[in-house]
């Protein structure tokens, strides 16, 4: 009996936590499909005539469309380069760097210590001088600091978990250090590396401050979404909600794709 009660209580608590966590998201999604008068009504409406007007406004708005495109380009390029440079660096740190390995790792982490606000203003000046202010290239460049250091920091433990014996067994079969990395360490560590990449992606996708200071015309989606509040005289709640949904979808899709990939690789491993 006591077990039933505690189980029911636990489930009730869990349900409450889910409502607390997902409630705002649900409300945002609902709001994205509401007319403004359905949103601002004093009595919240759960049943309403859904409309796609908000999404139409957003996708017809060139600023938002460009923002989405810019975000896509900047984030995917910086994450891709971050992974291509960061993952081999992490493997080298985990396996081959004996003398200065810890120092290098600390340096990498220390790149994340500084608040972006501290570097934003000097970066504006430097970028203006270099002529890369308000360019996608400039944003990619500054995001690479984040992506490379985050990928390295999260991938080192992933490679440390690869059993050393496996790499040694591969070396016994005549594999060069690069072959060992490419054909053994990388596939074995892949599940953890996916996690590192997803985390890095979300980190830069949501980045607002540097994007706000280093770009004007070529703004990314968080900047655009933040500026929507000033689109008209009355606050366009429906459009803001729709913009939020659009902002959230790409990382969700990305994570979903990676999870799928992960599951298939685990599944095939089970065969």
Q: Which residues bind other proteins (CB under 8 A)?
A: 163, 165-166, 168-175, 184, 187-188, 269-271
By beta-carbon proximity to other proteins, the closer residue of 34 and 91 is: 91
Find where tokens 């990305």 sit. 254
Nearest distance, CB of residue 162 and other proteins, angstroms: 10
By beta-carbon proximity to other proteins, the closer residue of 166 and 252 is: 166
**Lookup: tokens for 261:** 């990939």
By beta-carbon proximity to other proteins, the closer residue of 184 and 205 is: 184
Nearest distance, CB of residue 193 and other proteins, angstroms: 13
Q: Give 206: exposed, middle or buried? Use CB within 10 Å, 0-12, 13-18, 19+.
A: middle
Find where tokens 């005549």 sit. 174
By beta-carbon proximity to other proteins, the closer residue of 43 and 172 is: 172
Contacts of 133 (CB under 8 A, 6+ apart): 124, 127, 214, 215
Nearest distance, CB of residue 271 and other proteins, angstroms: 6
By beta-carbon proximity to other proteins, the closer residue of 175 and 226 is: 175
By beta-carbon proximity to other proteins, the closer residue of 171 and 255 is: 171
By beta-carbon proximity to other proteins, the closer residue of 115 and 174 is: 174
Nearest distance, CB of residue 192 and other proteins, angstroms: 13
Nearest distance, CB of residue 165 and other proteins, angstroms: 4
Nearest distance, CB of residue 121 and other proteins, angstroms: 47
Nearest distance, CB of residue 63 and other proteins, angstroms: 46
């Amino acid at each position: 009996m006591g077990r039933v009660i505690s189980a029911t209580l636990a489930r009730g608590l869990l349900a409450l936590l889910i409502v607390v966590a997902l409630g705002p998201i649900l409300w945002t999604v609902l709001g994205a499909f509401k007319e403004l008068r359905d949103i601002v009504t004093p009595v919240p409406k759960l049943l309403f005539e859904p409309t796609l007007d908000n999404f139409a406004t957003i996708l017809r708005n060139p600023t938002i469309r460009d923002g989405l495109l810019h975000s896509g380009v900047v984030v995917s390029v910086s994450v891709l380069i971050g992974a291509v440079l960061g993952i081999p660096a992490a493997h080298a740190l985990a396996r081959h760097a004996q003398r200065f390995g810890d120092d290098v790792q600390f340096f990498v982490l220390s790149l994340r210590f500084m608040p972006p606000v501290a570097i934003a203003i000097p970066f504006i000046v430097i970028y203006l001088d270099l002529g890369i202010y308000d360019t996608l290239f400039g944003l990619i460049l500054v995001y690479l600091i984040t992506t490379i250091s985050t990928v390295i920091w999260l991938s080192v433990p992933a490679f440390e978990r690869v059993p050393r014996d496996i790499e040694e067994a591969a070396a016994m079969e005549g594999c060069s250090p690069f072959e060992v990395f490419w054909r053994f360490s990388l596939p074995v560590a892949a599940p953890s590396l996916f996690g590192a990449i997803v985390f890095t992606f979300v980190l830069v996708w949501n980045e607002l401050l540097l994007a706000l200071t280093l770009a004007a015309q070529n703004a990314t989606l968080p900047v655009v979404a933040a500026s929507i509040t000033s689109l008209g005289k009355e606050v366009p709640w429906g459009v803001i909600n729709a913009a939020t949904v659009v902002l959230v979808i790409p990382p969700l899709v990305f994570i979903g794709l990676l999870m799928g990939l992960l599951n298939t690789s685990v599944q095939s491993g089970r065969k």
